[in-house]
Chain A
Amino acid sequence: GQNIDQPTEMTATEGAIVQINCTYQTSGFNGLFWYQQHAGEAPTFLSYNVLDGLEEKGRFSSFLSRSKGYSYLLLKELQMKDSASYLCAVMDSNYQLIWGAGTKLIIKP
């Protein structure tokens, strides 16, 4: 079966760095997405990785290792507004998105 695993909840301090991990097992791979979702709102796109390595975009970076079925989202210089759920999703061989359950990130002052 297809499976996406990520931690349920994480807590970090304002100004610090946090890494959210995601491991996956899917039928085929056409890229991995990270989305941010604030409570009561729809997800917003953060990043897309299809090749191994690190993609940096401002305070957020995303890493992918296809051989290990592993990705992480790195958030630097955390701000209170970064408190949200972070969803990992993998596009399978049929171009369908397989979603993880999301990681709720709590930022403390």
Chain B
Amino acid sequence: GAVVSQHPSWVICKSGTSVKIECRSLDFQATTMFWYRQFPKQSLMLMATSNEGSKATYEQGVEKDKFLINHASLTLSTLTVTSAHPEDSSFYICSARDHRGLAGAEQYFGPGTRLTVT
């Protein structure tokens, strides 16, 4: 089956620093990747859609200058949280769309990255 990895799985950083999270599709090419954020006991919230070779599409209310997304290859997308603050502490999850299955519809999720900003 399709596998998506994320790195790191957890990170603690100081307020004001930047953190980069990597999302990789290991055994398939993903032209589209998605970044989600999930606060405790809440549902997934889509932050942005990342398309290989083009600019990401951000959801309303998500600051594109704060959450930098780069999708440089068909297997790698990165999310950089710039000048992180404690309110950015959350569970960040990426997913990748596998065009081989379910008529191009199914998304496979990475294991998530738990970010804590102190």
Q: Is the CB of B44 within 8 A of A99?
A: yes
B108/A45 in contact, CB under 8 A? yes
Name the one of A42, A45, A101 contacting B106, with C-beta atoms under 8 angstroms.
Answer: A45
Chain B interfacial residues counted at CB < 8 A: 21
Which of A16-24, A57-65, A89-97 participates in binding chain B? A89-97
19 contacts between A and B (CB under 8 A): A31-B103, A33-B106, A40-B91, A40-B112, A41-B112, A42-B93, A42-B109, A42-B110, A42-B111, A45-B106, A45-B107, A45-B108, A87-B44, A91-B105, A95-B104, A99-B43, A99-B46, A101-B42, A101-B43
Minimum Cβ distance to chain A for residue B55 (Å): 17
Q: How large is the interface on A (under 10, 10 to 19, 20 to 34, 35 or more residues)?
A: 20 to 34
Q: Cα distance A96–B91 when bound, in Å?
A: 21
Number of A-B contacts (CB under 8 A): 47
Q: Classify the secondary structure of A's interface with B.
A: loop
Bound-state CA distance A41–B44 (Å) is 12
A interface residues with partner B (beta carbon < 8 Å): 30-31, 33, 35, 40-45, 48, 50, 87, 91, 95-97, 99-102
Contact of A48 among B91, B102, B109 (CB under 8 A): B102
Residues of A within 8 A of B114 (CB): 40
Please report the C-alpha to C-alpha distance between residue A99 and residue B91 in the assembled complex, in whole angstroms.
16
Residues of B within 8 Å of A97, CB to CB, are: 34, 46, 107
Separation of A33 and B109 alpha carbons in the complex (Å): 13
B78 at the interface (CB under 8 A from A): no
In the complex with contacts A42-B93, A48-B102, A91-B105, A100-B111 CB distance below 8 A: no
Q: Which residues of B contact A33 (CB under 8 A)?
A: 106
Query: Top 5 nearest A-B pairs by Cβ distance?
Result: A42-B109, A101-B43, A42-B112, A42-B93, A99-B44
